[in-house]
Chains A and B, each alone.
Chain A
Amino acid sequence: NAGVTQTPKFRILKIGQSMTLQCTQDMNHNYMYWYRQDPGMGLKLIYYSVGAGITDKGEVPNGYNVSRSTTEDFPLRLELAAPSQTSVYFCASTAIQGGELFFGEGSRLTVL
């Protein structure tokens, strides 16, 4: 099992560009999450999903969009990138509500 896989690992964007961070898991987990982590800070929830076709906003959803067409995939879309979106993004999944989160390796995004 590969677990949770994120791509790309690093990306530099110009202000106003758009991109998609990919996340896929092979553990058949229903619950998937996108977090961002700024330097010296904890994890802030952007969006989450409790199953295919169901998504919901977290604490910091502005400037992002998600979709969940399959159990395995949970891509995060950044529209009109801004310097404030410079961060490390982590995708995570869990099998049960409130269960252990399995994290991807992270995607480091810089917006210049």
Chain B
Amino acid sequence: QKEVEQNSGPLSVPEGAIASLNCTYSDRGSQSFFWYRQYSGKSPELIMFIYSNGDKEDGRFTAQLNKASQYVSLLIRDSQPSDSATYLCAAGGAGNQFYFGTGTSLTVIP
């Protein structure tokens, strides 16, 4: 069974700190990787996507991909209370399906 696993948390960080979220995936055929943010009672919204090994930065967010280790991470720098949400990791498989982790709950403490 193809799986995506995340550190389930909950994760708490003080405002201004770096939040680190991790994810591993089992399908070596996965080509695309996503981090979605989901506020309570809302639908997921895309934060970052990454297709190639290495780092990808967008503002305060950095996604890291290591295909050899089947590992994806998301770093949030200068964390803000508005970053408090559940973060979902997803992998796009070799087929047409996407596989989601169970999410990591992040709380940023003012």
Contacts of A50 in B (CB 8 A): 96
CB within 8 Å for A41 and B31 given contacts A31-B96, A100-B49, A106-B43 = no
How far does the alpha carbon of A19 sit from the alpha carbon of B20 in the complex, in Å? Answer: 42
How far does the alpha carbon of A86 sit from the alpha carbon of B88 in the complex, in Å? Answer: 21
How far does the alpha carbon of A48 sit from the alpha carbon of B95 in the complex, in Å? Answer: 11
- How far apart are A58's CB and chain B's nearest CB, in angstroms? 7
How far does the alpha carbon of A50 sit from the alpha carbon of B32 in the complex, in Å? Answer: 17
| Tally of contacts, chain A with chain B, CB under 8 A | 54
Chain A residues with a Cβ under 8 A of chain B: 31, 33, 35, 40-45, 48, 50, 56, 58, 90, 97-101, 103-106
Contacts of A100 in B (CB 8 A): 34, 46, 49
Contacts of B45 in A (CB 8 A): 103
- How far apart are B39's CB and chain A's nearest CB, in angstroms? 12
How far does the alpha carbon of A99 sit from the alpha carbon of B90 in the complex, in Å? Answer: 11
Q: Is the CB of A98 within 8 A of B31?
A: yes
Contacts of A106 in B (CB 8 A): 42-43
How far does the alpha carbon of A56 sit from the alpha carbon of B96 in the complex, in Å? Answer: 10
How far does the alpha carbon of A48 sit from the alpha carbon of B93 in the complex, in Å? Answer: 14
